[in-house]
Amino acid sequence: MRLPKTDKLVLAVMCGVPTVLLLAFVWFPALASVGLSFTSWDGIGGVGTIEWVGTRNYSQIFSIYPPFWPALRHNLYWLAFFILIPTTFGIFLAVVLDRAIRFSRLYQSALYLPVMLSLVLVGFIAQLFYSQDQGFINGLIGQQGTGPDWLGNPDLNLWAMMIAASWRHVGYIMVLYLAGLKSVDESLRDAARVDGANEWQTFRQVIFPVLKPINVVVLVVTVIESLRAFDIVYVVNGGKNGLELLSVLVYDNIVGEASRIGYGSAIGTILLVLALGFIVTYLVQNFRREQRP
């Protein structure tokens, strides 16, 4: 098929501009980070002052950098928790609200509201709840100052933060899934009912598989949200003492006064590999299954 000249031009511009932007603002910085992760640089002076150190940053991170392993573990906890609890709960809410129950709109808006808040705000709100001395929860159970130290106890605070972050994530997943459910052809449900399937069977055997594109989106969103979690723990205590996350370590090393650009880049690269690992594996599996006859 031959395209008229103007169409070709429009096509070239529409593909070209995003490609250039993508290369300049995504691929170049990402690859530059990977490159910088093999160097030592304090960010002062030109690129000439960058010193090549091979894999030294990586070996130090794995061997003598105490916050690294806890941070990695916390990121994985965060991922598992997000997939198991808020994502599942969000889907559940979507399914419930998809049925024409009373005040459905009201519930939807109430549950979606937190999504509009930035995670920084969610962090502030969470502190009003969790503070040991002045917080709402300890006030409620009448143990102000003596109750559980939700934010300071390193065995508790990560979970407290994950719950606070879930408050927002649930609404997000609910809306994504609700949009998907609205597009399901009514005749599928009817057919299932005719075949004698109950509510759960209909969802499990018919609706869920049909919503596969949405499921992929939900999973990818969940992985991204859990691995990039940063703001909420950073406002609470700067991501220390039980709230270490890889993203925080990247920030601490690069942005703060520390300026260990190479070191921080190496942690960023590890985070990138982790995220890609999860998502690529999932996508490959999915597409492979799809190709089967």
Partner 1 sequence: MLDAEAATLSRRNLLLRAAGTATAFALPGVLAACGGDDAPTGASGGGGASGAKEAVGTVSFGSNASDPVPKEAYAKVFEAFKTATGGTVKVNTVDHNTFQEQINSYLQGKPDEVFTWFAGYRMQFFAERGLATDISDVWGEVGGNYSDALKQASTGLDGKQYFIPFYYYPWAVFYRKSVWEEKGYEVPATLDELKTLGAKMKADGLAPIAFADKDGWPAMGTFDILNLRINGYDFHMQLMKGEASWQDPKVVKVFETWRELLPLHQEGSLGRTWQEAAQSVATKKAGMYFLGMFVGQQFEGANRDDLDFFNFPEIDSTIGADTLDAPIDGFMLSKKPENEDGAKALMKYLASAAAQGTYLQSDPNNIATANDADTNSYSALQKKAVELINGASNITQFMDRDTRPDFASTVMIPSLQDFIKNPDDVAGLTKKIEDQKKTIFT
**Residue from 18, 154, 209, 213 in contact with partner 1 (CB under 8 A):** 154
67 or 86, CB closer to partner 1?
Answer: 67
How far is the C-alpha of 222 from the C-alpha of 122, rounded, in Å?
17
d(CA 71, CA 62): 12
Answer for which of 16, 209, 213, 256 binds partner 1 (CB under 8 A) is 256
Min CB(28)–partner 1 separation in Å: 9
40 token code pair = 């030592």
- CA-to-CA distance for 115 and 284, rounded, in angstroms? 30
What's the min distance (Å) between Cβ of 172 and partner 1? 16
CA distance 187 to 205: 15
Binding segment for partner 1 among 82-90, 202-210, 211-219, 264-272 (CB under 8 A)?
264-272
Tokens of 195: 């075949």
Per DSSP, the three-state class of 121 is: helix
- Other beta carbons less than 10 A from residue 131's beta carbon: 19
Query: Which position among 67, 86, 114, 180 is part of the footprint of partner 1 (CB under 8 A)?
Result: 67
Task: Give whichever of 74 and 260 is closer to partner 1, judged by the CB atom.
Answer: 260
Residue 271 is a binding residue for partner 1 (CB under 8 A): yes
Residue 151 near residue 132 (C-beta atoms within 8 A): yes
User: Measured from the CB of residue 72, what is the shortest distance to partner 1 in angstroms?
Assistant: 13
**Phi/psi of residue 52, nearest 5 degrees:** -80, 125
| 150, 172, 177, 203: which one binds partner 1 (CB under 8 A) | 150
Closest CB 113 distance from partner 1, rounded Å: 24
Residue 35 as a binder of partner 1 (CB under 8 A): the answer is: no
Read off the tokens for 286: 């999915």
Task: By CB under 8 A, tell whether 258 contacts partner 1.
Answer: yes
Instruction: For the beta carbon of residue 223, count every other beta carbon within 10 angstroms.
Output: 20
User: Does the footprint of partner 1 cover residue 4 (CB under 8 A)?
Assistant: no
Site string for partner 1, 107-136 (x = CB under 8 A): ------------------------xxxx--
Burial of 199 (0-12, 13-18, 19+ CB in 10 A): exposed
Q: Are the beta carbons of 250 and 33 closer than 8 angstroms?
A: no
Segment 180 to 239, residues that bind partner 1, using CB under 8 A:
223-224, 227-228, 230, 237-238
Nearest CA to 174 among 105, 94, 117, 73? 94
What does the binding site for partner 1 look like in residue numbers (CB under 8 A)? 25-27, 29-30, 32-33, 36, 42-45, 60, 64-67, 131-134, 145, 149-154, 157, 223-224, 227-228, 230, 237-238, 240-242, 244, 246-247, 250-261, 264-265, 267-268, 271-272, 275-276, 279
